Amino acid sequence: MDIQKIGVVGAGQMGNGIAHVLAVAGYDVLLNDLDADALEKALATIDKNLERQVSRGKLAEADKAAALSRITTTLDLPELGQTDLVIESATERESVKQAIFETLVPHLEPHTILTSNTSSISITRLASGTDRPEKFMGFHFMNPVPIMQLVELIRGIATDKETYDACLKVVEKLGKTAASAEDFPAFIVNRILMPMINEAVYTLYEGVGNVNSIDQSMKLGANHPMGPLELADFIGLDTCLAIMNVLHDGLADTKYRPCPLLTKYVEAGWLGRKTGRGFYDYRGETPVPTR
């Protein structure tokens, strides 16, 4: 099947990156959010990020203009029913995602493929609430989307081959690389990454190290490009906590229990970069550790 028009639900940090790369690759993008400010901010971010690619000689000015012209925004979710593929990238909460698919289903074209960029929630369970579990799968981008090479493609129990192949073609057209994962909690990347981040928070919680020493240890001692706490702030501490809860509930193993300190930061609304404060305070010139 030929995919040309793609709907993206959620214009947050992931949704805007997804819209960006799809538009650059030549797809028509319809970007939805329930918050008009989020849509406006997303367009400004896409513009800024495209401009950065132009200034680095990675994109021609005309291609930037063409990409921007391919992105349309809407507050009306049912409008996305007219697209060939929907990539849902709203807040990492199952009830939010289920409500989105429930609203969309009556308006979908028969051929429309539904996907979710969820970091951890069961694809099979999300699919079962729709009219087309065979045309439903996980389409998991990494953050920041324009830079990261990998896309995890996750088959639900009912996903058919045609759907998988159509999504694989999109990944290839984006110039990215797909890794196929089975539908178990948090799939591959986050199954391995999140327990490490959670362990870093435990290391902080127990006073084994402070924010600086933990991040420096993993950068210089394990050759990670970012420290785990810096990375957690980048991902969003609410998203990290949500993923740990999915691992804990889904695999029923206490080794996945979220660190109470991670919960406390989320309760405080210190969600990382996106709210200006997390394990670091980003409100000044340079990030300052908060512990």
Q: Which of 127, 171, 186, 235 binds ligand NAD (CB under 6 A)?
A: 235
Angle (CA) 18-15-124 rounded to 5° is: 90
Tell me which of 89, 152, 198, 230 is the catalytic residue.
Answer: 152
Burial class of residue 18, CB neighbours in 10 A (0-12, 13-18, 19+): buried
Is 135 known as a binding-site position?
A: no
Q: Which of 7, 8, 10, 70 binds ligand NAD (CB under 6 A)?
A: 10
Q: Which residues pair with 182 in a beta bridge?
A: 155
Burial class of residue 249, CB neighbours in 10 A (0-12, 13-18, 19+): exposed
Q: Does 275 bind ligand NAD (CB under 6 A)?
A: no
Q: Which of 45, 53, 91, 275 binds ligand NAD (CB under 6 A)?
A: 91
Is 119 known as a binding-site position?
A: yes
Q: Does 215 bind ligand NAD (CB under 6 A)?
A: no
Amino acid identity, residue 254? Answer: T
Smallest separation (angstroms) from ligand NAD to the CB of 31? 10
Q: Which is nearer to ligand NAD, 215 or 238 (CB)?
A: 238
Rounded to 10 degrees, what is the CA torsion of 290, 12, 242, 134?
A: -160
Look up 172 and say whether it is catalytic: no
Q: How far is CA 11 from the centre of its chain?
A: 10
User: Which residues 104-133 are close enough to bind ligand NAD by CB under 6 A?
Assistant: 117-119
**Catalytic residue ranges:** 119, 140, 152, 190
Annotated binding site for NAD(+): 10-15, 33, 92, 97, 119, 143, 274
